[in-house]
A = this chain, B = another copy of it.
Amino acid sequence: MAEGCELPCLSPGRIMRPDDANFAGNVHGGIILKMIEEAGAIISTRHCNSQDGEPCVAALARVERTDFLSPVCIGEVANVSAEITYTSRHSVEVQVNVMSENILTGAKKVTNKATLWYVPLSLKNVNKVVEVPPIQYARKEQEEEGKKRYEEQKLDRLETKQRNGDVIFPIINPEPHTVGYSQSSLIHLVGPSDCTLLGFVHGGVTMKLMDEVAGIVAARHCKTNIVTASVDAINFHEKIKKGSVITISGRMTFTSNKSMEIEVFVDADPFVDEARERYRAVSAFFTYVSLSKEGKPLPVPQLLVRALCTGLRASGASPAAAAPGQSPAGSAQHILFPSIIQQKNMRGRASGLVGFAFVIFTPVSIET
């Protein structure tokens, strides 16, 4: 018996259940994201309260881009481990790894490596960020690398904060494989178990709902078994209060031969608190792949580009421009909405086209 050991080596994970998975038995990416975030919240809250000082609760500020390296199945055990890898004065970087384990065969696979940033908020005054106790680094370079990552994410968070929220316009009688055909939205009433001790929604709960909407968009588009392949960096600018209604909306923004990119928006409506209007709380891009019954990647139907709103004139979206044959990208079609153009830019892609697309094809245009 592991004596003298505070938490012996075997701290078992969680068995994946049918309700965690889609009809093909693949665990939803959102379930994994929620587990990752809970682990991050625990370890960073623990760390931030480890010295005498104001009691605080760590709130998720950002998740770096995350890949889903291999699918997790019902009956497998998800083992989550978390470690603090950097601290700035007001934030904590946590590295979370998820390993799936088939306890019948013993096979283990790393499924996710995620990096999350937390900010400690005072338990007494939710608007006050408290100071983070510094961690010790084994090697000097670890601190320097961490500082670099910290500066990079700070810049990205600042930039995304300035963006204005896009709105998903509803489409009546959409054609198959257009954006309007698969776009979906979901409303959720924030309950007590969705929230931290401060009474704000856990970041993991939000990400789980975002993945749910993105998955439905992907499934509606290609009508096959779909799984989350990756999530781009997500910034949590605005807290969401208990009792709010949140609307999570998703639309397909891009397809390649084998993958689909879905943009997801989270809007919060603190409707019992009349002082505040509905606001954009989070937005993110999810990438999905389509799988055959044997789990092999399937080709994805190409996204057809149409004017988004019947009421708006799609000035630049001429039939010729939309013809797949004329697209230099060949198998890929990319819809650029004004706000998406900016977002792509910040995400370091398609930046060369931004001004061009933004000026010429307003409000709806095609990247060629």
Contact = CB atoms under 8 A, between A and B. Distances in A.
A185 B271 contact: no
Contacts of A245: 42, 46, 184, 216, 219-220
Contacts of A160: none
Contact of A106 (B9, B50, B212): B50
Interface string A225-265: 10000000000000000110101000000000000000000
A212 to B, nearest CB: 7
Interface stretch (A81-89, A326-334, A355-363): A81-89
Contacts of A310: 311
B8 A81 contact: yes
A224 B272 CA distance: 6
A172 interface: yes
Interface stretch (A51-59, A316-324, A338-346): A51-59
Interface stretch (A151-159, A190-198, A279-287, A294-302): A190-198
A99 interface: yes
Interface of A: 1-2, 7-15, 17-20, 22-23, 38-39, 41-43, 45-46, 49-50, 52, 55-57, 74-75, 77, 79-83, 85, 95, 97, 99, 101, 103-106, 123, 138, 142, 169-170, 172, 176, 184-189, 191-193, 197, 212-213, 215-216, 219-220, 223-225, 242-243, 245, 247, 269, 271-274, 309-311
8 contacts: A8-B83, A10-B83, A11-B170, A12-B39, A13-B213, A14-B212, A45-B271, A104-B197
